[in-house]
Structure 1
Amino acid sequence: MIRLKDVARQAGVSITTVSHVVNDTRRVAPDTLERVQRAIAELGYRPDSVARTLKSNRSHTIGMIVTTAHNPFFSEIIRGVEDHCFANGYSLVLCNADDVENKQLAYLQTLLDRRIDGLIVMTSRNGPAFLEALRRQGLPTILMDADPEPGQDVGVVNDDSPLGARLAIEHLLAQGFEDIALLTGPEDHPRSRERLAGALATLTAAGIDTPAERIVTTNLLAGGGFDAMQALLENRPRPQAVFAFNDLVAIGAIRAIHEWGMRIPDDLSVIGYDDIELARYLTPSLTTIHQPIYELGATAIAQLIERLEHGRPLDSIRSLAPRLVIRESVESRRHRDSDIGDTNLTG
């Protein structure tokens, strides 16, 4: 086993100097630093990470608990976190909790046993027991896709969901649609609640009442979007347009519409939310609300590392603005009606 004294002998310096280089505890002259790093590489020296953690009380490890890494939205968030961790010399330990509180609690304990320096939580449902456990630990924590939680060393990073919903509805209204169905998420999902509130407020401001049958709850997965769209299409009158609260729901809805032999956007327009990579490759490509997904993850971890490295307090709420991305799945109703009128006049 290669030890510090072996590196010191190879580099021709003291053990203390090697320790400063390895632990980054003091500036070392450039030529000395180069000799030590070369000796480390030649000998294949690897610091004892457990000993370093115990000595410095820092592991340079971040824990992250998510609902599931299989969802492309979460995958892009994770990539933003992981890239920033790697660039700053931190390791990331990822746990998929499936929004099950017992799993969240178990993974929290596992991460604490790993002596993580900070935590990012991106789950749709944070139960009281889990939140209480977080408060007891006092660990620097960023919550994502969640309601703000009071507590020391807790920050929140989200997209501005009410704004995103308003952009989606305003676009549909501008195309001449008034009968708009909303495919929402569960009532206890924070972002879904905000998107529903933003959508309904925008419709109300336009003088449009939305009946209860035009609001269909889904599980925010493609299968949920498919089932919700099937239910809408079984009843008459059918909506003119659909606002799905994420792109997976929109994808499921599009499949159902195709199975009914209807065309998008000719027979029914669809707008999604998130702008996952797949959205641009659908046929037709999906008009959607772009969340800065990668940036959300990068913003969360950047805040956390600033807190750990420089003591900067976490922002209680950091909100990133979404934007509308116009593609092919929404067609202007006014334009279509004009074409029909022109055909009737010349026919």
Structure 2
Amino acid sequence: MATIKDVAKHAQVSTSTVSHVLNKTRYVSEAVTEKVLTAVEALNYAPSALARSLKLKNTHTFGMLVTTSINPFFAEVVKGVERRCYEQGYNLLLCNTEGDFDRLRFNIDMLLQKRVDGLLLMSDELVNQNIDIFARHKPVPTVVMDSGETHFPADKIQDNSYRGGYIATQYLIKQGHTNIGCIHGPLDKPTAKKRYAGFKQAMLDANLIINDHWIVPANFECEGGAVAFKALYAQGALPTALFVCNDMMAMGVINMANELGLSIPDDLSIIGYDDIKIARYMSPSLTTIHQSKFHLGQQAFDTLLDKIQTQRDTDLEIQLEPTLVERSSVIPNRQNT
């Protein structure tokens, strides 16, 4: 196996010149650069990532922690992070918690022991358990996505879920709906709590009554949406429109509505949240609130890289604004026309 000394000898330059060419740490003339790269190719030289990290005191690796879910929302965020890692020459270590607190702590310890340069965290357990991930480790630059308050220093990037919930409900009201229900996620999750709060505020601003029978909790998954809607249906009279606080639950609602012989949107208008890729291909295509998952991942990477490169001490809080996507699952309320 060729070494950096072999490359230097082949190219007739110093080992430091080879290092500068490969790491782009100093200007080297085009002629010398070409000689070095030719030698690298001729000798099939592969630089040692471990040696490089020891010398530069970084690993060029980020750790990312997510709560495992069948929701493609997470996959689209990870895709944005991975794209940026590839573009900037970083490695990514991806870990799942599956909602398990012990697994969360194990993964955090593992990532920090591997001396990652920074952390990207997207896990509600961090908030729910009130933990300080750096209690036993030297802090590293960290970005938390789509979560609430943390007990450790970190930049935060999140969707304005309150605003999104308000926009969704306001849209239903503008379509003439006054009898509106809501299937929300677990209220111990900050995103679910804020979306539901936005719903309530929009109803309050429009002087509309919130019917408690039409407010049903679920778990942010397809099955949860189906079970929640079946429970709502069993109570008797239905609202004319329903704000379902994520697209996965909305899929479950639409499926259960079909099983119960209801037509969407003729019998019930539905608006979701997230705008996952499959939302446009559902039947009917889902009107929803869009948040850019891919951009969220890219923004998280860029923010983390900025914190590392600038060595800033302050923590940023970045809020991405949601937008409405109109499709076919909502129609004007005929009862008011």
Higher mean C-alpha displacement, 246-255 vs 138-147: 138-147
Is contact 1:101–1:130 with CA below 8 Å preserved after alignment? no
Aligned to 1:155: 155
Determine if the alignment matches structure 1 residue 90 to structure 2 residue 111. no
Could you give the per-residue CA deviations for residues 209-237 of structure 1, whole angstroms, max 9, x where no partner exists?
21322221111000000000100111111
Q: 1:151 Cα deviation (Å)? A: 4.1
Aligned to 1:45: 45
Amino acid at match of 1:139: V
Q: 1:300 Cα deviation (Å)? A: 0.6
Q: Secondary structure at the match of 1:63?
A: strand
Aligned to 1:145: 146
Distance 1:268 1:242, change over 3 A: same
Is contact 1:105–1:130 with CA below 8 Å preserved after alignment? no
Q: Secondary structure at the match of 2:131?
A: helix
Is contact 1:143–1:157 with CA below 8 Å preserved after alignment? yes
Equivalences for residues 1-347 of structure 1 within 5 A: 1-68=1-68, 70-126=70-126, 131-134=131-134, 136-149=137-150, 151-152=152-153, 154-312=154-312, 315-334=315-334, 338=337
Q: Distance in 2 between matches of 1:272 and 1:190?
A: 17
Q: 1:317 Cα deviation (Å)? A: 1.1
Is contact 2:241–2:268 with CA below 8 Å preserved after alignment? yes
Is contact 1:69–1:96 with CA below 8 Å preserved after alignment? no
Could you give the per-residue CA deviations for residues 252-309 of structure 1, whole angstroms, max 9, x where no partner exists?
0000100010101000011000000100001110000001111111111011111223
Is contact 1:63–1:119 with CA below 8 Å preserved after alignment? yes
Q: Distance in 2 between matches of 1:11 and 1:310?
A: 35
Higher mean C-alpha displacement, 322-331 vs 63-72: 63-72
Q: 1:37 Cα deviation (Å)? A: 1.8
Distance 1:221 1:269, change over 3 A: same
Q: 1:128 Cα deviation (Å)? A: 6.9
Q: Distance in 1 between matches of 2:114 and 2:327?
A: 46
Q: 1:312 Cα deviation (Å)? A: 4.5
Is contact 1:125–1:188 with CA below 8 Å preserved after alignment? no
Q: Secondary structure at the match of 2:289?
A: strand
Q: Secondary structure at the match of 2:176?
A: coil
Is contact 1:184–1:196 with CA below 8 Å preserved after alignment? yes
Q: Secondary structure at the match of 1:237?
A: coil
Amino acid at match of 1:225: G
Q: Distance in 2 between matches of 1:16 and 1:63?
A: 30
Q: Secondary structure at the match of 1:134?
A: coil
TM-score, normalising length: structure 2: 0.95
Is contact 1:120–1:143 with CA below 8 Å preserved after alignment? yes
Is contact 1:148–1:316 with CA below 8 Å preserved after alignment? no
Instruction: Provide structure 1 residue ranges, at least 5 long, that are not aligned to the other structure.
Output: 339-347
Higher mean C-alpha displacement, 19-28 vs 112-121: 19-28
Q: Distance in 2 between matches of 1:176 and 1:219?
A: 29
| Structure 1 outlier segments of 4+, above 4 Å | 127-130, 312-315
Could you give the per-residue CA deviations for residues 88-120 of structure 1, whole angstroms, max 9, x where no partner exists?
010111111112111111011111122100000
Amino acid at match of 2:147: A
Is contact 2:127–2:150 with CA below 8 Å preserved after alignment? no
Q: 1:311 Cα deviation (Å)? A: 2.7
Q: Distance in 1 between matches of 2:315 and 2:223?
A: 36
Q: Distance in 2 between matches of 1:139 and 1:129?
A: 20
Q: Distance in 1 between matches of 2:184 and 2:215?
A: 7
Q: 1:314 Cα deviation (Å)? A: 6.1
Q: Distance in 1 between matches of 2:132 and 2:61?
A: 22
Aligned to 1:342: none
TM-score, normalising length: structure 1: 0.92
Distance 1:173 1:298, change over 3 A: same
Distance 1:146 1:90, change over 3 A: same
